[in-house]
């Protein structure tokens, strides 16, 4: 549900295929990505649901500090510069539900 993901926060979810992904909200829009850093292929967060940097401006990999743009998933700083997070397609329904889009 949209109310479970406050503005400038993120929440992890288990995917049907055993992978995890996370959803974050920015300016009323929701963005979802696989929970995998493109550099070392490790999960992004060190603590549960801690996907954003201290200022909650960017997605941050806790392993090496790479920063990713929330809206595009593009790495803007760190060893994976030029790479991007893998987007997960979602749909936000009028009832407030967030669903995986196939």
Q: Is 91 exposed, middle or buried (0-12, 13-18, 19+ CB in 10 A)?
A: exposed
Low-confidence spans in the chain with pLDDT less than 50: none
Contact between residue 17 and residue 6 where contact means Cβ atoms under 8 Å apart: no
* Rounded (5°) CA angle 77-78-81: 70
Answering whether pTM is above 0.85, one says: yes
CATH of the domain at 24: 2.102.10.10
In the chain, how many domains are there? 1
> What pLDDT, on the 0 to 100 scale, is given for residue 101?
87
Range of the domain at 1: 1-102
Distance of CA 22 to the CA centre of its chain: 4
Question: Using one digit for the tens of pLDDT, what is the confidence trace for 89-98?
Answer: 999 998 889 9
Contact between residue 49 and residue 40 where contact means Cβ atoms under 8 Å apart: no
Contact between residue 75 and residue 82 where contact means Cβ atoms under 8 Å apart: yes
């Amino acid at each position: 549900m949209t109310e479970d993901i406050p503005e400038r926060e993120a929440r992890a979810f288990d995917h049907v295929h055993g992978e995890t992904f996370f959803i974050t909200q920015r300016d009323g829009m929701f963005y979802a990505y696989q929970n995998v850093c493109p550099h070392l292929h490790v999960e992004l967060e060190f603590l549960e649901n801690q996907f954003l940097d201290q200022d909650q401006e960017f997605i941050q990999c806790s392993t090496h500090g790479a920063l990713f743009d929330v809206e595009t998933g593009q790495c803007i700083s760190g060893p994976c510069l030029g790479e991007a997070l893998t987007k997960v397609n979602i749909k936000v329904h009028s009832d407030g539900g967030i669903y995986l889009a196939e």
